[in-house]
Chains A and B, each alone.
Chain A
Amino acid sequence: MNSFDPTSLLSLLELLKCEYNVFEHELSEASKKDFSGIWRVGEYLRDLTSSENSKKDDHEIMNLLSALHGYIEILSEEFELENSAATEIMTKITTVINLTAERKMEVGSIKSEQEKLTKEYSTETQLNQLAGQILAVDDREENLVLMQRQLKTNGLQVVTASNGKEALKLLSDLEIDVVLLDLLMPVMNGMEVLQKIKGNARFRAISVIMISGQQDIAEIIKCIEAGADDYLFKPFNPVLLRARIKAGIDRKRWHDREETYRKQLELSERFIRTTFGRYLSDDIVSQILEAPEGLELGGDLREVTILMSDIRGFTKLTETLPPAKVVKLLNRYLEAMSDIVMEHDGTIDEFLGDAILAVFGAPRSNSDDADRAVRCAIKMQLAMKDVNQKNASDNLPMVKTGIAINTGSVIAGNIGSERRSKYGFVGYPMNVTSRIEDKTRGGEILVSDSTKKNLRDRYGMFSSREIKVKGLTKPLLVHSISWDTKRSRK
């Protein structure tokens, strides 16, 4: 740990020396002495950088810095330097020293924090805390008894098996963390049991420690290649056994924790998909999940096509219908319409009562944003027939929707606070769309002139008219698009 780099200090001292030569003759003897102290510190610092062997410990460095700091303080206290460049350099030096000291302080406190932690969690207590379940497999009864006795004193639960078959049965019945596996056993030897454990997805994470005589080292190497996590030679030292078991339990716990995290991650991804999926199409959700940094608050100015629809006379309907029916009607309508918006890769910005505000061209813009919006509107109008048929069979009134489409530059981004934010849009074109919507009749699609200019395909234009929009001095040119094939043929 030695993060100190004196280079910047040395160059500051170099600069100070240049200034010093200018005003040296004005100084008192005492001040000259103080300056010579500074130069001496500089020489030591230079030694630190030039020679590799020099003692570069923190103690030494802090002493030098402290001396330098002190000399500079004396000088700035005891006389007014006429030379402002020198004063400035000296202030900078003090700043560098203070920053270095602060950093050392931080590193120091982290170190002592770590030391405290290590002290608190000695091997013994950690073993007790982990209290894992151990399975010892050995064909010789006396070995099992010995292991059991040694481990039980450490608060570990030990189950035993005298052959491989028994061991595998116990593994599937119990939650085992570590297996102590004797290499040489009749019927199914240790290597075979190991292969069965590591070949099974359910058991793979369990730590396996192979136990053998020293002469079987070649076999042990094969076992490690086959996935054994550790090994011990007989007769084993109880301290070593404990340490290996502890490491094995740790490994298993890590794996378990990782598994939990993975599951949580999967859950939250699913949650995001279902929540966002209501407002955004699938590939936009995927895009956000893959690049979560894109979710930062902030926005960009982009050209989008805005679609707004609502049910004509809906407010009046709500006054005459019972609430349950209003909700049923509304949900049927919104569900049908939002499905169509998604199909056309539109982003639903908001449902405002019966109104739908959707945007085409954000978060991703395409050259056919305007076209998709118009096609979406046509499909929405066509889908109203089906909605109304269902309404009729439920004894609900017929409804008509009006759709306005407008194109313009808006600010798109995650708007809100850290706590609650949504991908949204702001800008004048949003308001204009809403004004056009006000002028739309039931069953009509009104397209602003700016959208019309962006269209690449041809659509049957019904008629063009100018509407007065609040806040705009000039009337706005809008076009009504025919969508009912029967009517347009007339």
Chain B
Amino acid sequence: MKILLVEDNEMNRDMLVRRLSRAGYIVESTTNGKAALEQMSLNRPDVVLMDMNLPIMDGWTACREAMKDSRLKTIPIVALTAHAMERDRQAALEAGCVDYATKPIDFPELLSKIKQVSEK
């Protein structure tokens, strides 16, 4: 199963890539919303994990863009919100994310969310 991780923070990205790979996923990563959309259409990942505060194109916009695209809107996007703020999470869901995880990431919970959304 392929996961696309969109995260601009180098350390967080590195850590998550390593953890997810060890959990048995094929992980690709990118650092902004625009690149994420390109990757989504090119590699067609099963699940996208996306930080919302991204450079060039933020996560919310990328998510809305994906929802407009009939080919991309079937790929589930899970938002990773740095701020543990209700508002950010709400905005992520409104933009079309299927679920969210707050940082610091509870990894077992993230794994179960990935499993859940990929099975739908």
| Contacts from A to B (Cβ < 8 Å) | 33-34, 37, 40-41, 44, 58-60, 62-71, 73-74, 78, 97-98, 101, 104-105, 108-109, 111-112, 115
Q: A63-B9, A63-B51, A112-B87 are in contact. List 13 more A-B contacts (CB 8 A).
A: A34-B18, A40-B11, A59-B83, A60-B9, A67-B11, A67-B14, A67-B15, A69-B104, A73-B107, A108-B84, A108-B87, A112-B85, A115-B87
User: How far apart are the CA atoms of A192 and B16 in the complex, in Å?
Assistant: 74
Residues A69 and B86 in contact, CB atoms below 8 Å apart:
no
- Nearest CB to that of A108 among chain B residues? B85
Contacts of B103 in A (CB 8 A): 62-63, 65-66, 101
| Contacts from B to A (Cβ < 8 Å) | 7, 9, 11-12, 14-16, 18-19, 22, 51, 53, 82-87, 102-105, 107
Residue contacts A-B, CB under 8 angstroms, 16 given: A40-B11, A58-B82, A59-B82, A63-B12, A63-B103, A66-B12, A66-B82, A67-B9, A67-B14, A68-B104, A69-B104, A70-B104, A71-B15, A74-B18, A104-B83, A115-B87
Q: Quick one: given A41-B11, A65-B104, A69-B104, are A108 and B83 in contact (CB under 8 Å)?
A: yes
| 7 tightest Cβ-Cβ pairs between the two chains A and B | A66-B103, A69-B104, A63-B9, A108-B85, A105-B84, A67-B11, A62-B82
User: How far apart are the CA atoms of A34 and B104 in the complex, in Å?
Assistant: 17
Quick one: which of B12, B22, B104, B105 has the most chain A CB within 10 A? B104
Contacts of A60 in B (CB 8 A): 9
User: How far apart are the CA atoms of A101 and B81 in the complex, in Å?
Assistant: 12
Residues B18 and A111 in contact, CB atoms below 8 Å apart:
no
Contacts of A33 in B (CB 8 A): 18
Q: Return B90 CB to nearest CB of chain A, in Å.
A: 9
Residues B104 and A101 in contact, CB atoms below 8 Å apart:
yes
Q: Quick one: given A41-B11, A111-B85, are A66 and B104 in contact (CB under 8 Å)?
A: yes
Choose one: A58, A66, A70, A108; the contact of B86 (CB below 8 Å). Answer: A108
Q: Return A131 CB to nearest CB of chain B, in Å.
A: 32
Contacts of B84 in A (CB 8 A): 62, 101, 104-105, 108
User: How far apart are the CA atoms of A62 and B104 in the complex, in Å?
Assistant: 7
Residues A74 and B104 in contact, CB atoms below 8 Å apart:
no
Residues B105 and A66 in contact, CB atoms below 8 Å apart:
yes
Residues B9 and A70 in contact, CB atoms below 8 Å apart:
no
User: How far apart are the CA atoms of A177 and B101 in the complex, in Å?
Assistant: 51
User: How far apart are the CA atoms of A60 and B19 in the complex, in Å?
Assistant: 20
User: How far apart are the CA atoms of A78 and B19 in the complex, in Å?
Assistant: 10
Choose one: A70, A104, A109; the contact of B105 (CB below 8 Å). Answer: A70
Choose one: B11, B85, B87, B105; the contact of A64 (CB below 8 Å). Answer: B11
- Nearest CB to that of A43 among chain B residues? B11
User: How far apart are the CA atoms of A163 and B7 in the complex, in Å?
Assistant: 70
- Nearest CB to that of B88 among chain A residues? A108
User: How far apart are the CA atoms of A65 and B12 in the complex, in Å?
Assistant: 9
Contacts of B15 in A (CB 8 A): 37, 66-67, 70-71, 74
User: How far apart are the CA atoms of A177 and B11 in the complex, in Å?
Assistant: 60
Contacts of A34 in B (CB 8 A): 18
Contacts of A108 in B (CB 8 A): 83-87
User: How far apart are the CA atoms of A115 and B105 in the complex, in Å?
Assistant: 26
Choose one: A68, A70, A97, A111; the contact of B16 (CB below 8 Å). Answer: A70
Contacts of A69 in B (CB 8 A): 104-105
- Nearest CB to that of B7 among chain A residues? A63
Residues A109 and B12 in contact, CB atoms below 8 Å apart:
no
Residues B11 and A37 in contact, CB atoms below 8 Å apart:
yes
- Nearest CB to that of B101 among chain A residues? A66
Residues A62 and B87 in contact, CB atoms below 8 Å apart:
no
Residues B11 and A112 in contact, CB atoms below 8 Å apart:
no
Contacts of B9 in A (CB 8 A): 60, 63-64, 67
User: How far apart are the CA atoms of A152 and B19 in the complex, in Å?
Assistant: 65
User: How far apart are the CA atoms of A67 and B12 in the complex, in Å?
Assistant: 4
User: How far apart are the CA atoms of A37 and B15 in the complex, in Å?
Assistant: 7
User: How far apart are the CA atoms of A460 and B85 in the complex, in Å?
Assistant: 80
Q: Return B84 CB to nearest CB of chain A, in Å.
A: 4
- Nearest CB to that of A100 among chain B residues? B104
Contacts of B102 in A (CB 8 A): 101, 105
Contacts of B16 in A (CB 8 A): 70
Choose one: A44, A74, A111; the contact of B11 (CB below 8 Å). Answer: A44
